[in-house]
Amino acid sequence: MRLDRLPGSRGAALNLGLQGGGAHGAFTWGVLDALLEHGRWDVHALSGSSAGALNAVMLAQGLRQGGPDAARELLQRFWTGLAACMPATWVSQTGEDLGLGAPLRMALQWAQWLSPYQFNPLDLNPLRDLLADLVDFECLRDPRAPRLYIGATHAGSGRLKLFRNAELSLQALLASTCLPNVHHAVEIDGQPYWDGGFSANPPLMPLVFEQGCADTVLVLLSPLDLGPAPRSAEGIRSRMLELAFNGPLVRELQLLREARRQLAGSVWPCGRLPRRLARARLHCIDAGEALQELDGHSRMVIHLGFFQRLRDHGREQAQRWMREHGPALGHRSSMPDD
């Protein structure tokens, strides 16, 4: 793909791997907004699951339609629209603190005992109409659009299903965001799919092996280093969720590092894939402690004020990363332990 055919193309290319995490994906909105505002790099390819997939699609479509400014506008329209399509009673507010409203807490309690086929038999999903209104799938299938790798999990095997540009559809996006305790499995070609975060969060390997661009920036909603082992019951439960949330990416990074270690013994890498592996450079923007301090249920808080707070934090983290690690792009990895 020729990057100079993208509207607003300006500089060196990079790939983006965007982690999912429900409402916390608004942090990624802020990161992307700051990167687009800075305008120093061109986005070559994106991967994502769940909320990461939605951010990736909005960014790719906006870039194809009108460049960085259009991408920033579409991201804002998505997150603002998402907040508007959820009932206000789903969120409770005490001062500046936001939490789950009584109806949503009750729904989550039902989800422990009833399947979505019982308490949500019509599979109501406000996200469906919002995506149908905002996403232009023909635009995303255009060969000049940034390359996309959208992850979903096959509910029968746990295997990753990647939807590339040509395969993207409304059903594919709903599959990538399908929480199995809330929504029916999404069927595509007769196969059931759940949230992509169970199998790749975000998909990393296609960015390394299928793209000629060497620099990949991971935008993470949970740090890879979670700190000392917790001792309280609540802390242990929270850590178990974080490990499950990060597990797919940790495994991909381990495989990548082991493959590069094996390759280091070669005098000269032979073949396209070994050469891409040898020259791959990884970078990371993570949310730091701010999201770690939030309750796990905050991933379900659909509220514009909450989204905007996370967006502002994402912008700050991205600006800090650009000052400290931006110069490494095109030259070396800046991700710890890479």
pTM given for the model: 0.89
Q: Report CA torsion sign: 247, 253, 259, 261.
A: negative
Give the 3-state secondary structure of residue 332: coil
Strand partners, 185: none
Least confident segment among 44-58, 78-92, 221-235: 78-92
| pLDDT tens-place string over residues 286-313 | 988 777 777 666 676 778 888 999 999 9
pLDDT, position 97: 58
* Residue 301 token pair: 């808080």
Which positions ≥6 away from 49 have C-beta within 8 Å? 19, 20, 150, 151, 152, 176, 195, 196, 197, 199, 200, 201, 202, 203
pLDDT in tens, 39-48: 888 899 999 9
Tens digit of each residue's pLDDT (9 = 90 or more) over 191-235: 999 999 999 999 999 999 988 899 999 999 988 887 889 888 878
Q: Which amino acid, one-letter code, is at 248?
A: P
Give me the chain's average pLDDT, please.
85
| 3-state SS assignment for residue 217 | strand
Residues paired with residue 92 on neighbouring β-strands, in sequence order: 99
Residue 30 neighbours by CB distance under 10 Å? 26
Cis peptide before 248, with omega less than 30 degrees from 0?
Answer: no
Residues 6+ apart with CB under 8 A from 232: none
Query: What pLDDT does 22 receive?
Result: 87
Q: What is the DSSP letter of 221?
A: S
Report the phi/psi class of residue 39: left, alpha or beta, with left for phi > 0 and alpha for psi in -120 to 50: left
pLDDT value of residue 293: 72
Write down the pLDDT at residue 258.
86
Residue 45, both tokens: 């390819």
Output the pLDDT for position 275: 80
Which pLDDT does position 272 carry in this prediction?
74
CA 266 to CA 287: how far, in whole Å? 37
Contact 184, 119 (CB under 8 A): no
CA 231 and chain centroid, separation = 30
Task: Please give the pLDDT value at position 266.
Answer: 66
Lowest mean pLDDT among 125-129, 137-141, 218-222: 125-129
Q: Which of 155, 265, 142, 257 is closest to 208 using CA atoms?
A: 257
pLDDT one-digit tens code per residue, 257-291: 888 888 776 666 667 777 888 888 999 999 887 77
pLDDT confidence band for 8 (50 / 70 / 90)? very low
